[in-house]
Structure 1
Amino acid sequence: MMVTDGPPPPRRPLPAGYIATTTHTAGVAHVAITGPAGDLAASGYAAELDDVFVYDRIVTAEAHRRRGLGHALMTTLATTRRSPRAQQILTATDMGAALYASLGWREYCPYTSAAIV
Structure 2
Amino acid sequence: MAGLIKAWVHGWALSRGVGVPVAEPDGYRLDVGRPGHRVRYVLADTGSVASRARSLTEPGTWLKVSGSREEVAKTVPPEWEVGPPEYLMSAPIALRPVMAAPEPYRAELVGDGVVTDVVVRAPDGSRAATGRVAIAGGTAVIDQVVTEPEHQRRGLGRFVMRRLDEVAVAAGAERAVLVATGQGRALYLTLGWTVATEITAAHLPEEN
Please give the range of the TM-score, normalised by the shorter of the 2 chains: 0.7 to 0.9
Measured in 1, the distance between the counterparts of 2:122 and 2:156 equals 10
Larger radius of gyration: 2
Whether the aligned pair in 2 keeps the contact of 1:10 and 1:75 (CA below 8 Å) is no
Larger relative contact order, structure 1 or 2 (CA cutoff 8 Å, min sep 6)? 1
Taking the aligned partners of 2:113 and 2:103, their CA distance within structure 1 comes to 32
Q: Runs in 1 of length 4+ with deviation above 4 angstroms? A: 8-11
Residue 34 of structure 1, aligned match among 121, 124, 149: 121
Could you tell me whether the CA contact under 8 Å between 1:91 and 1:112 is conserved in 2? Answer: no
User: Where does structure 2 lack aligned partners over 5 or more consecutive residues?
Assistant: 1-87, 202-208
Where does residue 59 of structure 1 map in the other structure? 146
Question: Alignment partner of 1:7: what SS?
Answer: coil
Q: 1:52 is matched by which residue type in structure 2?
A: T
Please identify, of 76-85 and 37-46, the stretch whose mean Cα deviation from structure 2 is larger.
76-85
TM-score by length of 2: 0.50
More deviation, 63-72/14-23: 14-23
Task: For residue 80 of structure 1, give the secondary structure of its aligned residue in structure 2.
Answer: helix
Segments of structure 1 that go 5 or more residues without pairing to the other structure are none
Distance 1:52 1:35 in 2: 31
- 1:72 aligns with 159
Aligned residues of 1:45 and 1:58 also touching (Cα < 8 A) = yes
- 1:83 is matched with which residue: 153, 172, 193? 172
- CA change 1:26–1:13 in 2 (3 A) is closer
Q: Secondary structure at the match of 1:109?
A: strand
Cα displacement string for residues 81-111 of structure 1 (whole angstroms, at most 9, x for unaligned residues): 11242x2100101111111111100101111
Tell me the percent identity.
32
- Cα distance, 1:13 vs structure 2: 2.9
Does residue 2 of the first structure (1) align with residue 89 of the second (2)? yes
Q: Which residue does 2:186 correspond to in 1?
A: 98
- Paired residue secondary structure (2:199): coil
Instruction: Give the Cα–Cα distance (whole angstroms) in 2 for the partners of residues 6 and 55 of structure 1.
Output: 12
Over the residues paired in the alignment, what is the CA RMSD in angstroms? 1.9
Q: 1:79 to 1:26 in 2, by over 3 A?
A: closer
More helix by share: 2
- From the superposition, tell whether residues 76 and 26 of structure 1 become closer, same or farther in structure 2 (CA, over 3 Å): closer
Tell me if the contact between 1:11 and 1:72 (Cα under 8 Å) persists in the aligned partners.
no
